[in-house]
Amino acid sequence: MYDKIIESVDYINSKVSRNPKIAVILGSGLGDLVNVVQEQEEISYEDIPNFPISTVKGHEGKLVFGKINGKEVLLMQGRFHYYEGYTMKEVTYPIYVMKQLGVEKIIVTNACGGINKSFEPGTLMLINDFINLFGDNPLIGANDERLGTRFPDMSEPYKIELINKAKGIADELGIKYGEGVYAGFMGPYYETAAEIVMIGRHGADAVGMSTVPETIVANYLGMDVLGIACITNMATGIQKVKHSHERVVKTAKKASVDLCKWIARIIQEI
């Protein structure tokens, strides 16, 4: 895997000459942040050796390099999901590549369902911890010490310093936000009402089908992570209408106006 990562990195470096320290993973319907990126350079996933291909509507499938508020950034416009049939190693492969490109901090976003009844569709939630309900994780298997330690610490999966910085910026901008625990669920079906009761009893405030694998690997690689979830719908048994991916993307796009302003300022400050 290490050789594959280096091959991907060498290809990217042959196409762009950038040195981003900050990366952003954009979830479903949250790709509008690319509109504020200056000096853009793009690479399609399909052109990068060993890179998976995004298959989900609302995920463009490209790396975008450029600047936001004067800071060099790398945006991942479209992610990979376990339910697409990829292995956990494939789902998280871009994080390994980002690390070798020099990225030190990652902002992970997603569209997800709300369990905490104080939330409503459109709420932006700072993630302060996660629950892994995938039944798998990307670190299973042989460990390569060139990448990270066999038994990584996960006591601060989302960097408290970054969370506090994000809170202060949200207050300055007048952006309302929540805070809570994100549960990663395998998908691709929307969870049943009984499952939501169980997940809520475990302490989750929101549930989605991504983010947790990327967070695990980023911590394994020694990167700082900030997670922001967009509550695009209330979970089954709480929401009174049936779920649809189209409604999720539509709600995410509305919330992305505040999210883009928020992330742009966070990038400027960190």
76: annotated active-site residue: no
First to last CA, the chain: 31
202: annotated active-site residue: no
Q: Of 88, 206, 209, 252, which residue is the catalytic one?
A: 209
206: annotated active-site residue: no
243: annotated active-site residue: no
- Phi then psi for residue 50, to 5 deg, are 75, 0
Q: Of 8, 116, 219, 233, which residue is the catalytic one?
A: 233
Closest CA to 240 of 117, 110, 74, 87: 117
Q: Of 83, 104, 128, 177, which residue is the catalytic one?
A: 83
Q: Of 45, 59, 110, 170, which residue is the catalytic one?
A: 59
Q: Of 143, 179, 245, 269, which residue is the catalytic one?
A: 245
Q: Of 8, 23, 82, 84, which residue is the catalytic one?
A: 84
210: annotated active-site residue: yes
Q: Of 76, 88, 111, 166, which residue is the catalytic one?
A: 111
155: annotated active-site residue: no
128: annotated active-site residue: no
Q: Of 110, 210, 219, 256, which residue is the catalytic one?
A: 210
Q: Of 81, 182, 219, 234, which residue is the catalytic one?
A: 81
- From residue 88, how far is each of 61, 74, 91 by CA, in Å? 18, 22, 5
143: annotated active-site residue: no
Active centre residues (catalytic): 28, 59, 81, 83-84, 111, 209-210, 233, 245
